[in-house]
């Protein structure tokens, strides 16, 4: 059975599903077998897509107008199509980039294999850039990770202030420009250093 999926990014009426629906029906998908979403492709919780994937059975073929209607990234597409293949479900793309993909044919599986290799290559490039960036930062004396909310002088101020029982935590936080939960990451209620405070003063 052919199962269709269509998606537009905006739900305000400025975009229509009609073009995709017509193309899917023209490709042999019955209208009642078309699932759709009015949502960004970046969203994971697309109810139409989830219902579509749930409805697919072994031997079915998922038909989409364009490849970008299905996934939010190349890596996500490869993961989704691989999952479909494991379930014995095919994928057919009607137009745009990836239109040569039809995993029910040998040529289509070859095309998808190229996409999968590109996704793996993309992931490896991102990983290499991240590692190189962290190494470059360390060479300049910086460490990766979240920036500290308090400076060394502010941590010392917080230590002294919290050691004084008359200190108003709300006033101190206002002075430092942080919330109480952030302050307590650096010092305890008695002014003793906590992990974040020790890391700031030791940097």
Residue ranges and CATH numbers for the domains of the chain are 2-120 (3.40.50.1390), 152-202 (no CATH)
Residue 134's DSSP bridge partners are none
User: Residues 91-145: pLDDT tens digits?
Assistant: 888 988 767 777 777 776 776 666 666 556 555 666 777 777 777 766 766 555 5
Say yes or no to pLDDT of 33 above 80: yes
Identify the active-site residue in 9, 47, 123, 153: 9
Name the residue among 158, 148, 166 with its Cα closest to residue 192. 158
Chain Cα centroid distance, residue 125: 17
Mean pLDDT of 21-42: 89
Q: What is the 3-state secondary structure (H, E, C) of the chain?
A: CEEEEEEECCCCCCCCCHHHHHHHHHCCCCHHHEEEEECCCCCCCCHHHHHHHHHCCCCCEEEECCHHHCCCCHHHHHHHHHHHHHCCCEEEECCCCCCCCECCCHHHHHHHHHHHHHHHHHHHHHHHHHHHHHHHHHHCCCCCCCCCCCCHHHHHHHHHHHHCCCCCHHHHHHHHCCCHHHHHHHECCCCCECHHHHHHHHC
9 catalytic per annotation: yes
Output the CA torsion 77→78→84→87 (10° steps): -160
Dmax over Cα atoms in the chain, in whole Å? 77
Distance CA 18, CA 28 (A): 15
* Mean pLDDT of the residues in the chain: 81
Q: Identify the weakest region by mean pLDDT among 29-33, 134-138, 168-172.
A: 134-138
pTM above 0.75, yes or no: no
């Amino acid at each position: 059975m052919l199962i269709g999926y269509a998606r537009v990014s905006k739900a305000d009426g400025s975009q229509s599903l009609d073009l995709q629906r017509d193309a899917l029906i023209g490709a042999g998908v019955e209208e009642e077998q078309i699932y759709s979403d009015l949502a960004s492709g970046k969203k994971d919780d697309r109810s139409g897509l989830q219902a579509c994937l749930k409805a697919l059975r072994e031997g079915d073929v998922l038909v989409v107008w364009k490849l970008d209607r299905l996934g939010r990234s190349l890596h996500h597409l490869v993961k989704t199509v691989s999952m479909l293949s494991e379930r014995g479900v095919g994928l057919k793309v009607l137009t745009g980039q990836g239109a040569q993909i039809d995993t029910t044919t040998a040529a289509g599986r070859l095309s998808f294999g190229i996409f999968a290799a590109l996704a793996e290559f993309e992931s490896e490039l991102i990983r290499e850039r991240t590692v190189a960036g962290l190494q470059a930062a360390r060479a300049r004396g910086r460490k990766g990770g979240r920036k500290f909310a308090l400076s060394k002088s502010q941590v010392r101020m917080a230590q002294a202030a919290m050691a004084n029982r008359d200190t108003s935590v709300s006033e101190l936080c206002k002075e430092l420009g942080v919330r109480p939960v952030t302050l307590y990451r650096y010092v305890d209620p008695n002014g003793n250093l906590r992990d974040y405070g020790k890391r700031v003063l030791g940097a």
